[in-house]
């Protein structure tokens, strides 16, 4: 059983660090669908320690790094597959409009699950970009720095995936109709 003092300290630590830890796990994971499990593992490892007042964000990030390694060591090895062939890497940044979006599709509440399903099936880098762009509100440049890829690749990934997603959602919508 957890005593009230520990629970209170855990509660505080969780609220203070949750966003940063999830962001870190998203950036380092091999599949966005693993983020929830890994995050739980990290905080469970913290919870079993008695004195939580000594934990801070830096220490938690250390635990996160170990837990991510542990998770993939015991679960599976990721296949490293390049999303674009080398010639596609050269797609011109200028050809993509700056404020791109799903062009003529308005996302509905019932699409949320389908979008998540779509992202889970995509390469990890794409779901990471979606998370950092739409959830964390990072710019393309910041995402490029965070994921150590070029800004044009970030833009390409995002633009292409949105196009694919638009087709996917339209097809679903037509099918449901």
Partner 1 sequence: MHNQKMFKKVFVKEFDQKKIYNEILENYSKKNQYFFKNLKWLLVPLGLTFILGYSLLNHDNINLQNFSAKYLSNTSKNNIYINKIEDQAILKLDVDAKIANELSLPSYFSLSSLVIPQNLTLTDTYALYTKKEMKGYSILNNYIIIYSNAQTNQSINISFSDKYKPLKDYYFLSDNTIPSVINNISLFIYNCNQTYFTEFTYNNINYDIETTNITLEDFINLIASLIT
**Positions that interact with partner 1 (CB under 8 A):** 1-2, 11, 14, 18, 22, 35-36, 39-40, 43-44, 47-51, 54, 59, 62, 66, 69, 73, 101-102, 105-107, 109, 111-112, 115-116, 119, 130-131, 134-135
Give, as one character, the DSSP assignment of residue 48: T
Give the chain's end-to-end CA distance (angstroms, integer).
51
CB neighbour burial string for 54-76, b if at least 16 within 10 angstroms, e if fewer = ebeeeebbebbeebbeebbeeee
Q: Which of 118, 167, 125, 166 is nearest to 149 (CA)?
A: 125
Q: How far is the CB of 155 from partner 1 (least distance, A)?
A: 16
Q: Minimum Å distance from CB 47 to partner 1? A: 5
Residues 139, 96, 82, CA angle at the centre, nearest 5°?
75
The smaller minimum CB distance to partner 1, of residues 52 and 144, is found at 52
Q: Rounded to the nearest whole angstrom, what is the least distance from the CB of residue 101 to partner 1 in the complex? A: 5
- Closer residue to partner 1 (CB): 87 or 137: 137
Q: How far is the CB of 55 from partner 1 (least distance, A)?
A: 9
């Amino acid at each position: 059983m957890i005593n009230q003092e520990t629970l209170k300290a855990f509660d505080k630590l969780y609220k203070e660090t949750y966003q940063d830890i999830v962001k870190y796990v998203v950036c380092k994971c091999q599949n966005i669908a693993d983020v929830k499990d890994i995050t739980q593992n990290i905080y469970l490892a913290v919870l079993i320690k008695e004195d939580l007042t000594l934990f801070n964000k830096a220490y938690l990030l250390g635990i996160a790094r170990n837990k991510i390694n542990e998770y993939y060591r015991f679960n599976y090895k990721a296949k490293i597959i390049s999303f674009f062939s080398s010639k596609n890497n050269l797609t011109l940044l200028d050809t993509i409009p700056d404020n791109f979006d799903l062009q003529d599709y308005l996302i509905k509440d019932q699409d949320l699950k389908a979008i998540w399903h779509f992202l889970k099936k995509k390469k990890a880098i794409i779901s990471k970009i979606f998370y950092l762009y739409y959830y964390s509100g990072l710019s393309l440049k910041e995402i490029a720095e965070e994921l150590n890829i070029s800004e044009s690749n970030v833009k390409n990934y995002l633009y292409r995936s949105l196009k694919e997603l638009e087709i996917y959602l339209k097809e679903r919508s037509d099918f449901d109709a």
